[in-house]
Chains A and B, each alone.
Chain A
Amino acid sequence: MFELVRANKRRSFAVLVLMLLLLLVLGFVIGSAFVPSLAMTEFDGENVKPHWGFDPTAGMIGMAVAGLVWIFQALLAYFQGDSILLSVSRARAIEKNDHPQLHNVVEEMCIAAGLSKKPDVYIIEDMSMNAFAAGRSPERASIAVTAGLLARLNRDQLQGVVGHEISHIMNRDILFMTIAGVMVGTIIMLSDVFLRSLRHMGGTTRYRSSKKSGGGAQAIILIVALVLAIIAPILAQLLYFACSRRREYLADAGSAIYTRYPEGLASALEVLESNAEPLPSANRATAPMYIVNPLKSSALGLTSTHPPTSERIKVLRSLAGGVSYQAYQAAWAKVSGHGAARMPASALNTAPVAQREAHPDAREPVDAKQRMREAGDLLRKVNQFIFLTCACGMKIKLPPEFKREHVQCPRCQRSLALPVAQIAAVAGVGETLSQETPPRRTIPMAKPKGGLQPLQITCHGKGWTSYKCSCGTVNSFFPAQETQESACKKCGRKVILKTV
């Protein structure tokens, strides 16, 4: 396993160097094209005279600017990449109680992969089906799955998907894809800026350069820059996508080895493919992170971030008997008809592990409606809905914005009191969570202090009245209380008193 990571690193490094060269050359050429006066003149101590040679100063400056832009973005991506990715995807952390099965599956895969620290588990509030891993190292990693995925996959399929993501984490794919992605982004940005500025001041540049004696050379540089600005982004993206596809295969193989059950991932991919809906929170930059392309994909081949799902399924299904990188490589060669290696050579001499039996869950038909309802409930729980069960059996789910003390059951018209303790507990949980993990929490929780609406208390007759505040404190009004408004003595929540 270790050698696999090392081989991966070496190859990634080569790709990164290639991309960096592309970026620097682009910076150099654009710099030279941008500042014609610098490139074409020379100061020899007495006077400025036209210079026929090539002065690299402007190019160097352009190169430095390109490098600095990339370094800044790469540092940002390295330290904040996972939080940015998670918040852009609207992912929210869930605890073990929220979805024990998902947490269990993640723990199992950590043991199988030998991952020392369990990644944080996130859920994406979307009913489409997808998953991704984030984080720069195995020690700081997260796995996010959509609610739709949880609703439609059985245990074995879920294990296959989680195994794929854990494999990404083990192979350090996320770090590489982030850094390379940022580089592609920088190249695109630089060419974009250059082409746009050219369009804006095209007339003046041509006028100025034609007046000077070095017009010819300048024109050549301009043309080179133009061509490079058009080609470089395409080249960088092709490099990036090729790497991305290769890594998907490697992660698939890893998943098959960790789970020892390739059919799980194969059938999961099948379900994912048949339910392919674009994920609205994904974009071109984050697309390679997901298990299947989250965008509406039309282009196949060179410009796709993921290998065709049908091929991935076929490769997994043709893994008969033992599972190993070698077996996966052979299966891939058979399915695609290529002889080229997809796996690093060092990974190929590992002993195959026997496949296991299907989990009994997998054989039972999935009650789709029930599973959907569960996934919906999970989302509501994460969003701090209050759950009530009426005496007639009706389950009532109330959003956290619901602030009244009573609710009417829609089926039997009974009036139900909201459990004050539960509200307090939910509010408390929200507070502790946001205190414990401030940067990882993607959506800020409502702070109970001050932000809460006043409590409405109905007072029957005149006498001592007591009520329980949402913070758990019991307050009381004495009989002579005249004012309509009061406040909780502990948390200061406002109370409006109504006398009937």
Chain B
Amino acid sequence: MKKIFYLWVVLISLVGSIFRIINLDKNPVHIGNDEISIAWDSYSIRMTGMDEHRKVMPLSFMSHRVYKSPLYIYLNVPFNYLFGNNEYGVRFLSAFVGSLAVFLIAMVGRELGGDKLGIMAAFLLALNPKSIFVSRMAYESNLATVVLLLAIYFLFLYIRKSENNKLILSGLFFGLSIWGYHTQWGLVPLLLLLSYWYWKEKISFRKWIPLWIITVLVALPIFYDFVMVQMNDPFNRASSQIWFRTANIENYWNNSQDCLLKKIAHVAVEPVYNYADHFGLDSMFTKGMELFPKNEVFQFGWFLLASLPLLIIGLINLRKIQKNKSRFLLGWWLLSPVVPALTGPVAEVRNLPFIAPTILIMAIGMQVVFEKNKKCFWLLTLLIGINFVYFAIAYYIHFPKITGDNYQFGYKQAFLEIRPMIDKYETIVVEPRFGEFGQYSGLPRHYFGYWGAFSAWEMINRDDESNRIGKYWIKNVDWNKEKFPNNNLYIVSISNPVVNESVKQLELWKKIDKPDGKTQFLIYIPKE
């Protein structure tokens, strides 16, 4: 039975990894905003040991004052070395751990309720739309979620076997998950409390202490760094993410005529609305992914709609598994959205730890159906398969065509176009604005650097005031003020075509079109 279990799980994990790795360089169509920061920092650490702000081996990466968690960036260094500066060099780690998660959830499921439960959990996670989506992008949250899953797996092993090395590994991974993403800062202590609470009769208080100490010791540098960041940069973006400091709530608080008591109540209940939002049928099953614009026919939730009955059956039958484990699983499920709810409604990645317990509950439901009615089981499996085919068509075929702006499409393509003739020009001017009306602001510095325009050292030694790195000048162009003393090449937004006197001096050399056919950037060169 053991061999069959591993055979199934490895097979399912391989299938899951295909969905996560196939066309990784083409879908999503361009490295996204958060991804490019991670990509650059990882590359910069590899080449210089510093981030772009000259911090040596930082514990949080300042980036655009968001102070990113460090785990992904450091673990990505070997992958960046292996694949180089391209999509695989930043996304592969996420795809790899996303595939590993399929195997891991099978192991956790097996600990919860046996081989069948493990296999079914692996099957459901392998086809999970949200897991596939986040595994195909460089998200720190995805890595942190998998590390957390490892910690829980070793915790279950410790509870079953009482081997101290399992406890140490569990503590190590709990601590590391805090290095992985901010959600885990709050979730890990809650899960540790929960596990103690449910197994305090089986495992004495004294035996839990090493787990807590290891977790705290591993996580301590991160919290120390957090305190230092708050002292040195109190208005950083990360600290404005808590719900009562968001623009909406601050606006309400400052401008509303309501009495103080009502204001306090209004602000205090906001996280409750956010929390409820995570359990909404719409966000879970019909539109939470927000892959396509509103009111489009293709909408998908975090989970396949066909798996909804499994969740209901699983919740009703939680008692089928051991009492403490079922309580822990339910607690894990209910606690996962607590920290994200303190920051806002359902967001793209903050609530990824929610996926694993939901899948495990669904797997319990699937096992119950399997044991009670085989026909019904196969029918549900078929429906899940059909549902997945719809998701796959939408995601792999249509999604790349409509999402250019979301991923700052065009910077890579523009650089690759001009690369053969860079030497001909003295200055390359690149606009950070993009979009039909120039309404977005991008990160050309990082994109151009990552694709080879300049080295990590040049980035570190840049002059922030002039926005120049080597021959690259990042600025929004005002054609009325632009002078052409030098031999310049311009990459500007479609919203800012050349006008007035400049028309006489420049010619349009190339247009950079998005996958939907709309133009994103215009490249101008001096007239011969």
Interaction A to B: no
